Amino acid sequence: MITSTSRLWLALAMTLLYVAALGCRLTGAVAHEWIGVAFCALCVLHLVINRRWFKGITRGKYTFRRHVNLLLNMLLMLSAITLCVTGVLGSRHIFGSLGFEGGMGIRQLHTFAAYWGMVLLGVHTGLQWLRVLTGLRAIQPIKNLLASSGVRLCLAFLLSTYGVWASFDRAMGSKLFLGFSFDFWDTARPELLFYAHNLAILALYAVITHYLFKLIAKIAVAPRGAAATEIIRP
């Protein structure tokens, strides 16, 4: 039986593999390709587990949130397909025997899709935050830690602040809008910092999405003439 906790572990494994794959220059090309293959395999497993979602696309009423979720899932699948295809085309080890050339354009498209995929993954996490929280609460120490709304807000603030700084440090604007050729990381800096930066950036988009939709929901149900402070009060 697939439980919320097992879904959480699968999502966590996919996220960690995704962030690990971003460090191609740190792990080396061979490890990068195997990490990519493992991630693609988990993507297929994720789709199989959630296959009912596809059957329900044409059913029920579509709210604003559901429209956004549908668009987001389509973009995530497009990003994953682009990563898989360009990964095979640019492979020099696992799929090197297939004889694909995979020039600079393929590599740049691969990196472009990877960083947009990280943003989309963060937004997806924010939209599914209640499910994530349900899975986390099954782990007693984490359940105790997250019991207080003050602690949750503090963690969200710290993660998002770090994520903003990491976005500038990693030059995310250039990565998202093709203003780069290579993904550079100074080898004099700790490798762990590279992965922490990317996880923080992902968390930033999750936090923004979660609280943005929370605000939208409050505004939608707020009575006319309600004060702005009443609408956005946490």
Backbone angles phi, psi at 22, to 5 degrees: -65, -20
DSSP string, 46-83: HHHHTTHHHHTTTSS---HHHHHHHHHHHHHHHHHHHH
Q: Based on the structure, what is the number of domains in the chain?
A: 1
pLDDT at 227: 47
- Show the domain range for 121: 4-232
DSSP string, 145-165: HTTSHHHHHHHHHHHHHHHHH
pTM, entire model: 0.88
Q: Which two tokens stand for residue 132?
A: 């994530």
Tokens 């596809």 locate to 54
pLDDT at 224: 56
- CA dist 136 and 133 (Å) reads 5
Each residue's pLDDT, cut to its tens digit, for the chain (234 residues) gives: 677 778 888 999 999 999 999 999 899 999 999 999 999 999 999 999 988 888 899 999 999 999 999 999 999 999 999 999 999 999 989 998 888 877 888 988 999 999 999 999 999 999 998 888 887 777 778 778 777 888 889 999 999 999 999 999 999 998 898 776 567 788 889 999 999 999 999 999 999 999 999 999 888 876 555 544 444 333
- CA dist 160 and 156 (Å) reads 6
pLDDT at 3: 76
- From the list 149, 158, 160, the residue with the least C-alpha distance to 126 is 160
- The answer to whether residues 92 and 100 touch, using CB atoms and an 8 Å cutoff, is no
Q: Which two tokens stand for residue 51?
A: 């296959």
pLDDT at 141: 80
From the centroid of its chain, how far is CA 210? 13
- The answer to whether residues 163 and 200 touch, using CB atoms and an 8 Å cutoff, is yes
Q: Which two tokens stand for residue 154?
A: 């503090």
